[in-house]
């Protein structure tokens, strides 16, 4: 398989980001959320295999803390090791930018993402009860952190 490459997303990519996520997750960000994120100074990344866009990620870096706000692999490309490659690369880049730790929040029911995070060294550091809207009612957010 070709190597995953990352490039920064710009305002021209916002529709693309929202479209990719809408077809890949049950609870996608809207285009307006991506715009707000970009305007807030977050780092938005597009992951490609050659010319094919296969994923995205959003990170907020505050001093020595990197917060992973979103990570998505396109529906057609999930389960092939790309999420692992993408997150590993993001952890490396954040370390290079001076981050010492990475934090994230994940739905309690998202067992695939949780097992990916655990395998890359994240551990649970808290819980926000009833944080996310769910299909029925609400569900908890699990907070995780890793040293970089």
Ligand X SMILES: CC(C)(COP(=O)(O)OP(=O)(O)OC[C@H]1O[C@@H](n2cnc3c(N)ncnc32)[C@H](O)[C@@H]1OP(=O)(O)O)[C@@H](O)C(=O)NCCC(=O)NCCS
Give the residue numbers of the binding site for acetyl-CoA.
110
Whether 117 is a known active-site residue: answer yes
The binding site comprises 110
HSE toward the beta carbon, residue 141, CA cutoff 13 A: 11
Among the options 89, 105, 108, 139, which is catalytic? 105
Footprint of ligand X (CB under 6 A): 24-25, 71-73, 78-84, 106, 110, 112-113, 115-116, 119
Which residues partner with 44 through β-bridges?
A: 58
Which residues partner with 65 through β-bridges?
A: 62, 101
Q: How far is the CB of 115 from ligand X (least distance, A)?
A: 4
Q: Are 49 and 2 in contact (CB under 8 A)?
A: yes
Closest CB to ligand X among 84 and 95?
Answer: 84
Q: How far is the CB of 136 from ligand X (least distance, A)?
A: 18
Closest CB to ligand X among 13 and 21?
Answer: 21
Closest CB to ligand X among 98 and 130?
Answer: 130
Q: How far is the CB of 137 from ligand X (least distance, A)?
A: 19
Catalytic residues: 105, 117
């Amino acid at each position: 398989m070709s190597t995953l490459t990352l490039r920064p997303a710009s305002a021209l990519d916002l529709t693309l980001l929202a479209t990719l996520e809408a077809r890949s997750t049950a609870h996608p960000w809207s285009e307006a959320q991506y715009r707000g994120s970009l305007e807030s100074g977050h780092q938005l990344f597009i992951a490609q295999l050659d010319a094919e866009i296969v994923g995205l990620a959003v990170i907020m870096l505050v001093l020595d803390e990197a917060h992973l706000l979103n990570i998505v692999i396109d529906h057609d490309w999930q389960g092939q090791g790309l999420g692992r490659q993408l997150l590993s690369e993001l952890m490396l880049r954040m370390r290079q930018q001076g981050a010492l730790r990475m934090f994230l929040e994940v739905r309690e029911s998202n067992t695939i993402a949780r097992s990916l995070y655990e395998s890359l060294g994240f551990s649970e550091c808290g819980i926000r009860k009833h944080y996310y809207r769910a299909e029925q009612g609400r569900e908890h957010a699990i907070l995780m952190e890793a040293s970089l």
